[in-house]
Structure 1
């Protein structure tokens, strides 16, 4: 963890979920100016966008230096992505595995578009670093979450925009339990509590009951992954304390 800020500024892909909130804290611990970007693409769980402002205010309140570094928030409409996607995240359909072995929650091209639009905005805002929550450890096989994909896209963006962007994926090689641990390391129990109470991960867009790990339907793959990660994280804490 780093507490001395680096120059260049960062733009965080900030959905309002557990992973992107952890990435926002990671960026605030490192960069002198941090802006956030969310996308409205007709996602079924659009309620996540409503969590973003609460989370931004909550995370700024955790540390004075984070409040000073947190800059503007941006939201871009990508309706076309939802229109061309026949997936369980953009249609009211049951979550299942599609032909080829990928879950039908995979939105083709989503992260490629997100990072391309993020780079275009960063270009205008004079930001050097792009931060996203892509992860190969808990990624359901999504090809646009792979480290090779992100590295290739960084090369393409730098060539196509003639800028030296750096794409950061701090969660790439850690699982959900370690993501909870990273949040605790960055912002203490207060950040863990903020993520539990105010972030949204559920694919169905259901706030639902308040579980130990947060709100959600408790049944979809995103809720299941978050719940199992939280259970492993708290069990490790309990073992260490005994």
Structure 2
């Protein structure tokens, strides 16, 4: 039985939900983030606020939450001509993928996370990749995760499990999962402290959180939040939205 985990934690809605999922399952949980010169680098500060809030508001998880790691992956920004690493408009490419796709990003993330997990004695790597509400990124697919798990386990000569709690659920169900894990306090924490906006906007506050409201990440998060609130059956108290 696995007891320790390393969560790829960017500070966004998905990775915060994955962190809560890990804290509910494992005895010791550490976190790792990557600075790849992303335009929305504000997430690197937002993630610290999320960690502080989790410790303060969920004391039963605080004792499980171990060391946080930030790794410099600037080389990824150097080789990536994408709208997440360059000042360019969001658009679809001829390949059929959006220009928010950073080639090799999740592959590098998982490789470095595996090396860190090896050194720290952590058994499970938790990541928020998803095939349901995603933009066709090939490095978010379940097949990719299974292949990486096999390659990393062989290459490290140690059994590593890559866990993907969000793989088969949409954004509305991700909000629901957060509510199941931590109730309204966790949902409110995600709204107030997490960051998903690709433009790094922390000036505009919406019912679903901070962001420009127009980039693909904001639109996806907003639609999911709206569906999440609408799915509560008649006669059952709906979750209370955080004030906009």
TM interval, shorter chain, is over 0.9
**3-state SS in 2 of match to 1:93:** coil
1:198 aligns with 2:193: yes
Structure 1, residues 164-187: CA drift from partner, whole Å, max 9, x if none? Answer: 100000000000000000000000
Deviation at 1:216, TM superposition (A): 0.3
For residues 151 and 135 of structure 1, the distance between their equivalents in structure 2, rounded to whole angstroms, comes to 13
Q: State yes or no: 1:90 paired with 2:70.
A: no
2:170 corresponds to 1:179: no
Name the counterpart of 1:3.
Answer: none
**CA RMSD of the aligned region, Å?**
1.1
Partner residue of 1:232? 227
Gaps of 5+ in 2: 238-244
Q: How many residue pairs align between the two structures?
A: 237
Q: 1:50 aligns with which of 45, 48, 54?
A: 45
| Residues in 2 aligned to 1:54 and 1:205: alpha-carbon distance in whole angstroms | 15
1:189 matches 2:184: yes
Task: Give CA-to-partner distance per residue, 1:114-170, whole Å, 9 cap, x none.
Answer: 000000000000000000000000110000000000000000000000011000000
Alignment match, 2:137 = 142
Aligned partners of 1:50, 1:105: CA distance in 2, in Å? Answer: 21
Query: Per-residue deviation at 1:207?
Result: 1.4
Aligned: 1:158 with 2:115: no
> How high is the TM-score relative to the length of structure 1?
0.95
Residue in structure 2 matching 1:126, options 103, 115, 121 = 121
Whole-Å separation in 1 of the counterparts to 2:122 and 2:88: 38
Tell me, in whole angstroms, the C-alpha distance in 1 between the residues paired with 2:6 and 2:126: 6
Cα deviation for residue 61 of structure 1 reads: 2.6
Output one character per residue of 1:9-43: Cα deviation in whole Å (capped at 9) or x when no partner: 10000001000000000000000000000000000
Matched, 1:208 2:208: no
Answer yes or no: is 1:219 the counterpart of 2:203: no
- Residue aligned with 1:71, SS: strand
Is this contact kept in 2: 1:62–1:187, CA < 8 A?
no
Shift of 1:238: 6.3
For 2:83 and 2:235, the matched residues in 1 are separated by: 39
Q: State how far apart, in whole Å, the 1-side matches of 2:142 and 2:57 are.
A: 31
Retained in 1: the 8 A contact 2:10–2:34? yes
After TM superposition, the score normalised by the length of structure 2 is 0.95
SS at match of 1:75: strand
| Secondary structure at 1:226 match in 2 | helix
Contact (CA 8 Å) 2:149, 2:162: kept in 1 or not? Answer: yes
Aligned counterpart, 2:99 = 104
Pairwise mapping of residues 72-87 of structure 1 onto structure 2 (< 5 A)? 72-87=67-82
